């Protein structure tokens, strides 16, 4: 019996193979992840994340899940916002990314965070626990996105909010062409020069193109049960912030 297929960038692979291959990509890029984010986006990723934090409306006492949180950029800010009475969990499927995130946050004096290695498709948390879930630049790497969205819905409290920050479809054809040139010609070279890994950054560029566009992802979020779903294009649609509420 043939295994079910999914995509790994532009390559078709068995569903059971993708998780391991994505894990290897992020194990490879983890040591240079923050540097490469700054180089690839010319620092603009910090503005996208700042917008996400503002949109989250996280406050003192909240419980927050930073899913696929990597090196903890969002977690660090959330930990300050929720205070001692709140709870922040940095979760990632990749142990190397979690290790880098933990070391980075502890170096910054952030200790009120729990670190959990978890698959977004099967979150190991109680029902109706979190006030807010964020997933920044992680959903496109999930094999079964619908299962992950249902899992996020389950662990959110009624009234809780989901925010998905992800690369998306540029709003203008000319921008889309320029973005393709950058992604497939410049990005792998940056990966080779600064991280000694062109292949992983080639995969990351391909994974962006295989990710659902703005309207498709909005429909998927609604299909998982979320309401009041909307998205905001950032940088002319190169990135979009999707939001949904659990009523």
Query: Is beta strand 11-14 parallel, antiparallel or unpaired with respect to 5-8?
Result: antiparallel
pLDDT of residue 27: 82
- Mean per-residue pLDDT over the chain, rounded: 93
**CATH superfamily assigned to domain 44-169+220-245:** Vaccinia Virus protein VP39 (3.40.50.150)
CA distance 73 to 53: 10
**Which of 54-58, 191-195, 196-200: highest mean pLDDT?**
54-58
Binding site per annotation, positions = 71, 92, 119-120
Distance of CA 227 to the CA centre of its chain: 21
Question: Taking the CB of residue 152, how many other CB atoms lie within 10 A of it?
Answer: 28
pLDDT of residue 1: 44
Mean pLDDT of 136-157: 96
pLDDT of residue 151: 98
Mean pLDDT of 65-83: 96
pLDDT at residue 2 greater than cutoff 60: no
Question: Which pLDDT band holds residue 39 (cuts at 50, 70, 90)?
Answer: confident
Q: How far is CA 102 from each of CA 54, 56, 83, 85, 212, rounded to the nearest angstrom? A: 23, 22, 18, 21, 31
Name the one residue in this structure whose structure tokens are 């000319």.
Answer: 174
Question: Which pLDDT band holds residue 3 (cuts at 50, 70, 90)?
Answer: low
CA distance 139 to 120: 9
Mean pLDDT of 91-112: 94
CA distance 226 to 239: 21
Instruction: Return the SS3 of 128.
Output: coil
Binding site per annotation, positions for S-adenosyl-L-methionine = 71, 92, 119-120
Q: How far is CA 232 from each of CA 43, 193, 210, rounded to the nearest angstrom? A: 20, 33, 20
């Amino acid at each position: 019996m043939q295994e079910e297929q999914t995509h790994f960038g532009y390559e078709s692979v068995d569903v059971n193979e993708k998780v391991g291959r994505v894990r290897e990509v992020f194990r490879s890029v983890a040591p240079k992840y923050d540097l490469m984010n700054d180089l690839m986006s010319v620092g603009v990723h910090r503005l996208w994340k700042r917008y996400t934090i503002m949109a989250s409306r996280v406050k003192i006492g909240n419980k927050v899940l930073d899913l696929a949180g990597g090196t903890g950029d969002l977690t660090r800010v959330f930990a300050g916002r929720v205070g001692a009475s709140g709870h922040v969990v940095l979760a990632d499927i990749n142990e190397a990314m979690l290790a880098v995130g933990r070391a980075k946050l502890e170096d910054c004096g952030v200790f009120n965070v729990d670190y959990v290695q978890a698959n977004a498709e099967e979150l190991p948390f109680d029902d109706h626990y979190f006030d807010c879930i964020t997933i920044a630049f992680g959903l496109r790497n999930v094999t079964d996105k619908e299962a992950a969205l249902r899992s996020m819905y389950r662990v959110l409290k009624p009234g809780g909010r989901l925010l998905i920050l992800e690369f998306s479809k540029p709003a203008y054809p000319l921008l889309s062409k320029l973005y393709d040139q950058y992604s497939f010609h410049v990005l792998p070279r940056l990966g080779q020069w600064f991280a000694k890994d062109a292949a992983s950054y080639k995969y990351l560029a391909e994974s962006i193109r295989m990710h659902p566009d703005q309207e498709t992802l909005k429909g998927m979020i609604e299909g998982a049960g979320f309401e009041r779903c909307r998205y905001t294009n950032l940088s002319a649609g190169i990135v979009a912030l999707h939001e949904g509420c659990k009523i």
